[in-house]
Amino acid sequence: MERLLVVGYVRPHNHRPEGVVFVFDSGVIAERDVAGMTFREGEILSAGFYTLQEAAERVKPSLADRLASALAAAQEGATVLCEQGRRLF
């Protein structure tokens, strides 16, 4: 892992407890790296490369916001704090 981009607070929901998520800049990977990955049964269904907009269409809004915050943090050279995916500062 490289640099910490996001520290995010996730509120409890239904039976899921509150939590903290971390997003790190892990460097650049190539399509051949993804093609060579193996996942445990039921752990990850697929992996791919997407633009921020394409990813936002495939994930929950709070995760889309967190991804946008992580990308901005990487471009700014910063670490940001988020709540429910939205950047606080």
Domain ranges of the chain: 3-87
Kindly report, residue by residue over 1-25, the tens digit of the pLDDT: 689 999 999 999 899 899 999 999 9
For the chain, the straight-line distance linking the first and the last C-alpha, in angstroms and rounded, comes to 23
Kindly report, residue by residue over 39-60, the tens digit of the pLDDT: 888 888 877 889 999 999 999 9
Provide φ and ψ at 70, rounded to 5°: -65, -45
> Helix (H) and strand (E) counts for the chain?
3, 4
Give the 3-state secondary structure of residue 76: helix
pTM of the model: 0.82
